[in-house]
Structure 1
Amino acid sequence: MERPLEDVLVLDLTRAVAGPITGRLLADLGARVVKIEPPDADLTRFIVPNVDGFSPYFAQFNVGKECVSLDLTRPAGRDVLLSMVPKADIVLENYRPGVLDKLGLGYDVLSEINPGIIVASVSGWGHGNSRSGRGAFASVLHAEAGVTEMVSRRRGGDAYRNDPMSHADTYTGLHALGAVLAALHMRVRTGRGQTVEVSMAESTLMCNDQAATDLTGLDPQIGFKGGQNWAAVYPLSNGRHVTVTLDLTANFGFKVIAAAMDRPELRDDPRFARIEDRVLHRDEIEAIFGEWVSQFDSAEAVEVAIGVKSVMAAEVRTVAELAATEWAEERGAFVDIVGGEAAAPMTVPQSPWRFREADGGLAPGAVAGDRGQHNREVLRELAGLDDGAIDALEGEGIVSAGVEILSIRRDRRQDTPCAFAEASCSLGRAAPRAFVRNTFAALPTGAAGQETARCWSRGWIAMPVPPGCAVITPIWLYGRAHWAFRTQTQPPHEDECRRLGADSPSAAWSREAVVTDMRLSVCSAHSTIGTIGADC
């Protein structure tokens, strides 16, 4: 079956979450999405934990895209992008307002080349206002748009804290998807493209189902009562937990639980006579109901005992537990994908839509690309460049991929033949500090076989290390990845990794290093990028 957007080409310049989720969903709908990253890469590539060096956080919203690394701050990089615009339908971007124009890639420039182009811009506060120049992450919008305050107030005045989920980002990405699809539909009528801009602030407000109530100035605990979102979580007899879709202070909810528990006398208790009384004594009602719930060992048993079809009980689960359910398999709610050329295995949520006359969503085995993984095929096809031109761009650092070895320094010490070595690596011209999270080095000694050293200290990854090789630990230093290392006959035990990581890694490794002949391979998590040989 065909896919709804299979004739649409998207150039995705976005990073982080709010923009990339839009690109992911467009890809799931069949669009060809080319992710264009700067030399320092999308910052979410470096969010840990990772699987074989690939971040699942990055993969979730970038799987299904072709990945190109291009320096748009340089004229030659800008020209490469412009050469792809005639074939494109949509450009997605989430720079601060005005940055795209400064790069010479604003809508006026792009529409001159392609009048049908749709430029979708995601920003924190929108364009053309007093806050346009401010940056924004989800936590910023949660604080500014009332979410952080509201959650604290609704939970009885708990201390303010940031939510671990990026609601403002994901809401905005979904709103941007709707706006882009509307612009595509409008283009069918007018033949013209346009700009579409979506702010995180307004997206967060629109998705706050309590915003209008809050704007009345009335107390929602009395006037609105809170509905099922006031439902408490109760322990079951087996140590699991369950929530029940009832506001126990509402007339309906209170009537249901009194009948289910066979406690008619509660209706005559003055503490629970009116809604206002029950709100004041909410904790007492929940304690009574919670004690009754605790005799059951499943959500299903609680539902049966309540006996009202409109009242549901739900067990508190992890995402992994839901993924293991019969429902998830029947629905295809999760899909197995791979990260990069190494095919790092991971699972991500599938898109929620199912079409009768079209295919949608990710195909099993879809790839979340490495940085620059698809440079050559994309630049050949969409920019019309041959290998010689691409080689020249790589040589100038305008197109980049993998790791660039900048230098190697050897330090011969008095106490050992060659105790310490240091390698500096970068991604193209810019060398991000975080890149060491996806990079390691090994010192092959010719021994055969593969084992895995699992070092779980912060920023380390599980590394395949042949017996007899050194294990390298990254050290942060001014944006370049540095390693100190030691040789050994077997990969280190996890406890040893933790011990060495607990103090200064550089001191721990260099103290114990004894190297007589060194060959330092600088690797990404999926393949060896380059090797420098050195005799100590």
Structure 2
Amino acid sequence: MQAPGNNSGPLAGVRVVDLSTVVMGPYAAQILGDLGADVVKIESPRDTVRNGTVHRTPGMTPLNLNVNRNKRSIALNLKDEQEHASALELVHGADILITNMRIDALRRLHMDYDSLAEANPKLIYAHAQGFRPDSDRATLAAYDETVQAASGLLDIASRAGDIGAPVVLPGIFADKVSALTIVYSVLAALVHQRATGEGQLVEVPMTDTLLAFNMVEHLQGKIFEPPMGETGFPLSMNKGHRARPTKDGHAMIIPYSPQNCRDLFHAAGRDDLAADPRVNGEFIDAKADGAAIAELIESVTPNLTTAEWIEVCTEHSIPVGPVLRLDEADADPYVREGHLLDVAEHPSEGSYRVIGTPMRFSRTPASVRRHAPLPGQDGAEILAELGATETAGQE
């Protein structure tokens, strides 16, 4: 971990105000912080990422430690006149504001885009919520699960698994995909701001974002009008599209081409299967033959160990990957060599694992410079920078 003052990332000199809660906004702001931006988080006393039973210090939960690193924290009650004024002053000096507050609440606080852009024309105002603000769903409370449902992701998962009832994917997918969309959107707006001095409103509706993400491959035959087929990417919807059993465990072995399949069958000692006409054409018809070929593949993969299959697949350019168990991730050689889960010392929490930055820059490396702060721990410093004489919100 670099020292707090060693800020050499590509966004060094960019000021971000994080006025968001839960995962989407904080994760987006954390990434900007990893890239070198100075991120000031205006703390809410009801931020759910600080709620949980797994902690050493109240409020310092695993989720909070992950999404609020590389930030300075100030606790401000936006309903208090003086503290509200401090929040406005922070935003007036910022390049980027990220918020997921409801538009009606922002208007009541005079923190909507129109109000803030008048005082800070260069402000990039990123507003994210579940549905488009000009739609009839604008006021619906949105959570990851509801956005997964409204974007078609539950339908994709249930059809692919032949489950029947819609099933929620076990992860905060809508929030995190939307967070990444916020990041690249505000970076694009930052390029414009640097060229012209103009800020702008950037809206990221979660449902629209995840639906667009899902439809890249799953729109399929419905892309044409009239339709030439159903929705759903055949390979992904194939019931056999899963990890294969090996002699000592499982591996994700995905022979995409007919040549991949033939090489796999030869390696398993099954030359007879390599002669199957379904793997001797120009391509594999995933919809018609995918399930049957998957059964043939799974009938031979137990012949070799995972390590042996990785060697075979590497030799023949067959896509392959070991199945990482989360509980064993910290011991995985790839994870360790990439410093993806290094142990660091938090000033108040002691030893903990820090998720590494996945991107690499040859000249302006991303870095983790600050541990996630205690609620409001940087308030005095931030207010001093604003020229304040009182430490509002630090009690």
TM bucket normalised to smaller: 0.7 to 0.9
Tell me which protein shows more helix as a share of its residues: 2
Is the aligned partner of 1:176 residue 2:177? Answer: no
| Structure 2 match to 1:6 | 12
Q: Which amino acid aligns with 1:237?
A: K
Matches within 5 A, 1:89-168: 89-168=95-174
Contact 1:234 1:290 (C-alpha < 8 Å) held by counterparts: yes
Is 1:213 aligned with 2:216?
no
Report the Cα offset of residue 46 of structure 1. 0.8
- Structure 2 match to 1:294: 302
The alignment status of 1:259 with 2:259, answered yes or no, reads no
* Equivalent in the alignment of 2:326: 319
Contact 2:342 / 2:354 at 8 angstroms: preserved in 1?
A: yes
Counterpart amino acid of residue 252 in structure 2: T
Q: How does 1:71-470 map to 2 (within 5 A)?
A: 71-208=77-214, 209-213=216-220, 215-216=222-223, 218-219=229-230, 224-226=234-236, 231-238=241-248, 240-247=249-256, 251-266=258-273, 285-298=293-306, 300-306=307-313, 308-337=315-344, 341-363=347-369, 366-382=370-386, 384-386=387-389, 389-390=390-391, 393=392, 399-401=393-395
- Residues 241-297 of structure 1 show CA distances to partners (whole Å, capped at 9, x for unaligned) of 2110225xx644543433333434346769989989985675554444324222323
Q: How many residues align?
A: 382
Contact 2:313 2:320 (C-alpha < 8 Å) held by counterparts: no
Secondary structure of the residue that 2:193 maps to in structure 1? helix
Gaps of 5+ in 1: 394-398, 402-536
Contact 1:52 1:344 in 2 (8 A): no
Deviation at 1:171, TM superposition (A): 0.8
| Aligned mates of 1:8, 1:277 — CA distance in 2 | 50
Amino acid across the alignment from 2:338: R
Cα distance change of structure 1 residues 276 and 350 upon mapping to structure 2, 3 Å threshold: closer
Deviations 1:477-536 (A, max 9, x none): xxxxxxxxxxxxxxxxxxxxxxxxxxxxxxxxxxxxxxxxxxxxxxxxxxxxxxxxxxxx
* Aligned residue in 1 for 2:27: 21
Instruction: Show the counterpart of 2:65.
Output: 59
**1:307 & 1:22 partners in 2: Cα distance?**
36
Counterpart of 2:31 in 1: which secondary structure? Answer: helix
Q: Once superposed, what is the RMSD of the aligned Cα atoms? A: 3.0
- Distance, in Å, in 2 between the alignment partners of 1:30 and 1:334 is 20
| Structure 1 SS opposite 2:114 | helix
Once the two structures are TM-superposed, the CA of residue 181 in structure 1 deviates from its matched residue by 1.0
2:258–2:280 contact (8 Å) kept in structure 1: no
Counterpart-to-counterpart distance in 1, 2:254 and 2:65: 34
> Residues 272 and 280 from structure 1, CA distance in 2 versus in 1: closer, same or farther, beyond 3 angstroms?
farther
Q: Give, as a single letter, the amino acid of the residue that structure 1 aligns with 2:245.
A: P
CA contact (8 A) 2:219 2:231 kept: no
2:301 counterpart letter in structure 1 = V
Q: Distance in 2 between matches of 1:267 and 1:333?
A: 40
Alpha-carbon separation, structure 1, partners of 2:349 and 2:276: 64
SS where residue 304 of structure 2 aligns? coil
* TM-score normalised to structure 2 length: 0.86
Instruction: State the 1:14 CA deviation.
Output: 0.6
Contact persistence 1:231–1:244 (CA under 8 A): no
Q: Percent identity?
A: 25
- CA distance in 2 between partners of 1:270 and 1:360 (Å): 50
* Counterparts in 2 of 1:34 and 1:317: CA distance versus 1, 3 Å: same
In structure 1, the partner of 2:47 is 42
Q: Partners of 2:295 and 2:313 in 1: how far apart?
A: 17
Richer in strand (by share):
1
Alpha-carbon distance between aligned partners in 1 of 2:98 and 2:25, rounded to the nearest angstrom = 7
In structure 2, relative to structure 1, the CA distance for the partners of 1:30 and 1:152 (3 Å cut) is: same
Question: What is the Cα deviation at residue 354 of structure 1?
Answer: 1.3
Computing the radius of gyration from Cα coordinates, the structure with the larger value is: 1
Contact 2:121 2:198 (8 Å CA) reproduced: yes
CA shift at 1:96, angstroms?
2.0
Take 2:366 and 2:168, find their aligned partners in 1: how far apart are those partners? 34
Verify the 8 A CA contact 1:231 1:243 in the aligned structure 2. Answer: no
* Corresponding residue SS for 2:103: coil
The alpha carbon displacement at 1:52 in A equals: 4.9
| 2-structure distance, mates of 1:330, 1:191 | 42
Looking at structure 2, the residues matched to 214 and 374 of structure 1 have their Cα atoms a distance apart, in angstroms, of 54
Deviation, 1:12, is 0.5
CA contact (8 A) 2:56 2:349 kept: no
> Which structure would you say has the larger RCO, counting Cα contacts within 8 Å and 6 or more residues apart?
2
Instruction: Report the TM-score when normalising by structure 1.
Output: 0.65
